[in-house]
Structure 1
């Protein structure tokens, strides 16, 4: 009997002993994807008097990967991707007198960050496999009106080996909805989230290349470690062509620094009399940068729209490269 799609799954376990030391899975990923064994089999070129060559082969490089395919992002599971791609934050900070916990992922600047590596299990009812030393090479967040916020992520790991699934129960999650987003754009020297821009944002695409790069040394056939050579962050937004869009186009022409905040709210937190910073679950993306491009006007249902791209980089004056903040009700990632 062969395996079936309905019984495929992906599970993650934090590698708390050391990166590359396989860990048992602790959570089922609420999404899609399949492990890929990327070992490289080569056949040496030789002239030995045999037409078509011999079956001599070598495997000099072992690697693995998995793509978390497009799925609705959730307040509870997005931090797994952020902790494996930006910085090792797997424990939330209690938010005042509430049941909320804050996970902050500050974009690195002056030193290489440590990320949390994972062991990822994948497969179906026929065979489970696992990949250790898994980290996020890149991820995307995409949203448009009338839809959920969509997450995809590309993970790299050392190798794929057969295993058996750890028995786990599904965790409850809450989807992040694009329509619950508040866009704010402030000037250099201002505070993220101060100046709201309403009735303007139609679509958003955040493309985040983490900068994490595997390094193959003489120690193994798989990579020995991974280093951060610097992130590349591009934010593409589509605006309704209104006065706010015209203002931002002028800022592009003037090479003016913009401090963009995208803030998605979720269900209410329980807040006591002592108060808290947040009253709902939140996903907050704070990015400083400059517009790189404004495209020609197009239309959507007869309404003029304009697409623009902001390149996010460290702002010297405000000494920030931005951050991604997630607020949920989990005290830590399991």
Structure 2
């Protein structure tokens, strides 16, 4: 497989090299050719004019001079266009990408009489929800999940089962095709998107940090937060110690994406950001994967603090991390196969039972 990828990579590099060479040759030849054609036109004008003068034709040096000026004025725009051809082609390629963004489908606007949630406790209900990204290819079918205030709902299932799509519907990144999502008994279609999303916090597997200082990244969801609030949130997220060791502490600038921090450190800053915003509904999407054991322990401690007193939706592949969830929803092929506590699902000896023990067999086998 590695050799195949190397061959493919080499071929792509060769194609890029050939395309680049052709572009440079074309760009380099265009200007000299244009200049040569201009000079040829001058030669023709002078030659023809000289012949007419010598043969007694109706021609003078002034007329020849005027013709040369006209030729120059005519050819100048063409020559300038040739000189700028490479820049023009680059601009066209850039314009195509700009128009792709402009042509992207916008979010559906809020209803004119859209409401705001004033008192959120964390009650969520997915009522007979179905959804598809492509018409005729359903991703979710008749999902029925109810989460009460303070409960932790775990979503488990194979990759591509539809777990993340359920959370996308809750955040109203998409609207349901059938069924309804309720928050505090209100249809989220009738709520303002911005107000709905203010009530939720997300900690994802791939954390993105913006260019700016550590403090600015933590304050991203609450711009008016004080320095004391920022530090308090960082302490709860177990991030204060490593932030204090940075060259400029909370004022340390971060590169785009937080590339100068480790994955675990970026995750802790993400948790601090959510803690500062203090949402009532929390979404955790495999937040501790791809992290070393010691860092994972710190992040898990921070997440346990973060989850207290909130309604939590946890997407997990490692089933050992969600054994204490109030409900575990097992999703397979877009359908809710099973629902219950860890012990109830094991007692059923269904799909969850198979997933759980297959993971432990894989772990013991690898050891």
Q: Shorter chain as normaliser: what TM range?
A: under 0.3
TM-score w.r.t. structure 2 length? 0.22
TM-score w.r.t. structure 1 length? 0.23
